[in-house]
């Protein structure tokens, strides 16, 4: 697939402090169009702060964030319209069916009823839940619920998916399924993904990786090029934290 235009995400010299705590310091990296980028960091590295800045939950102290070329601060509407977010916490109502939930979220994005119906079928198929539209969310397994959250995030056809610890609390098999769904989306739908995780095992050799530690980018590049320095470096940082 050939990708033109600005990167899906361009972060430049981003810093953020919570009072005396410097959560991010001069963070710069890009998510090229059609790429899977793993944002790897131990607890407290600054991943959630970064996600919160991209989604505009917090305003950045300094630096720039561009989503598909749109400045998140100066053109927030344009930037956010191109972003699909899978939060650590659940955004779907467990007592409603998957279709009811997705109708509601489609309406929030201003998608009309007829288009929503078609789009809901489409996104459920993309996350391999085509047969679960009528199921109450509470009856789905943990892995299915995470894939349902991804379906929700895809409703408005975002260019960039932002996933914050998308596999937290899942068993090995469900984790692999969620990862496979996101990699499939990249290969077939031209979406890009920033996948925040503290688990080295979730990084595939062809992925691009950004290692964040104590608010700073310590290592970045393609996992296969970084080779042993990635696993050794990350292990050292994990030890540094302990
Ligand atoms: N609202 C806040 N007020 C003060 N300090 C905060 C706040 N949010 C985060 N921090 C601090 O900023 C730093 C980065 O935290 P952040 O939650 O972004 O890390 P993380 O990599 O997402 O970790 P986790 O996986 O535990 O969420 C930590 O030192 C944390 O204590």
CA of 50 from ligand 1 middle (Å) equals 9
pLDDT bin (cut points 50, 70, 90) of residue 30 is very high
**189-206 residue pLDDT tens:** 989 999 999 988 888 888
Residue 219 half-sphere exposure toward CB, CA atoms < 13 A: 21
Q: What is the ipTM of this complex?
A: 0.93
Calpha distance 50→67 (Å, rounded): 13
Give the phi and the psi of residue 214 in degrees, each rounded to 5. Answer: 45, 40
Using the atom order of ligand 1, give the atom closest to the CA of residue 48.
Answer: 22
Strands ordered across the beta sheet of 192-197? 83-86, 160-164, 192-197, 36-40, 208-213, 216-222
Of 47, 72, 76, 82, the closest CA to residue 166 belongs to: 47
Calpha distance 226→172 (Å, rounded): 25
Q: Are 80 and 66 in contact (CB under 8 A)?
A: no
Q: Are 226 and 200 in contact (CB under 8 A)?
A: no
Residue of 49, 164, 211 to test ligand 1 pocket, by largest number of atoms within 8 Å of CB: 49
pLDDT bin (cut points 50, 70, 90) of residue 231 is confident
3-state SS of 142-196?
HHHHHHHHHHHHHCCCCCEEEEECCCCCCCHHHHHHHHHHHHHHHHHHCCEEEEE
Residue of 27, 46, 53, 194 to test ligand 1 pocket, by largest number of atoms within 8 Å of CB: 46
**Does 162 score more than 60 pLDDT?**
yes
Average pLDDT estimate for 65-73: 96
Interhelix angle 113-126/98-108, nearest 10 degrees: 120
Q: Are 186 and 36 in contact (CB under 8 A)?
A: yes
Displacement of CA 198 from its chain's centroid (Å): 13
Q: Are 69 and 159 in contact (CB under 8 A)?
A: no
Q: Which two tokens stand for residue 63?
A: 């630096």
**pLDDT: which is higher, 202 or 36:** 36
The topology (CATH level 3) of 1-82+158-242 is: Rossmann fold (3.40.50)
Spell out the domain ranges in the chain: 1-82+158-242, 83-157
Average pLDDT estimate for 80-95: 91
């Amino acid at each position: 697939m050939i990708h033109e235009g600005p990167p899906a995400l361009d972060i430049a010299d981003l810093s953020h402090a919570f009072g005396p705590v410097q959560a991010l310091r001069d963070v710069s990296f890009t998510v090229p169009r059609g790429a899977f980028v793993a944002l790897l960091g131990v607890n407290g590295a600054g991943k959630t702060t970064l996600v919160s800045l991209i989604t505009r939950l917090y305003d950045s102290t300094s630096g720039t964030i561009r989503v598909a070329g749109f400045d998140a601060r100066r053109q927030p509407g344009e930037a956010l319209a191109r972003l699909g977010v899978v939060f650590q916490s659940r955004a779907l109502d467990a007592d409603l069916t998957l279709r009811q939930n997705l109708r509601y979220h489609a309406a929030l994005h201003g998608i009309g009823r007829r288009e929503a119906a078609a789009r809901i079928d489409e996104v459920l198929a993309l996350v391999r839940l085509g047969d679960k539209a009528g199921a109450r969310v509470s009856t789905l397994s943990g892995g299915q619920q995470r894939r349902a959250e991804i379906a929700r995030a895809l409703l408005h056809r975002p260019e960039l998916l932002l996933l914050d610890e998308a596999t937290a609390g899942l068993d090995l098999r469900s984790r692999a399924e969620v990862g496979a769904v996101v990699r499939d989306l990249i290969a077939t739908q031209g979406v890009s993904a920033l996948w925040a995780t503290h688990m080295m095992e979730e990084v595939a050799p062809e992925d691009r990786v950004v290692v964040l530690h104590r608010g700073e980018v310590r290592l970045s590049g393609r996992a296969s090029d970084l080779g042993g320095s990635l696993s050794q470096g990350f292990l050292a940082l994990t030890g540094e934290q302990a």
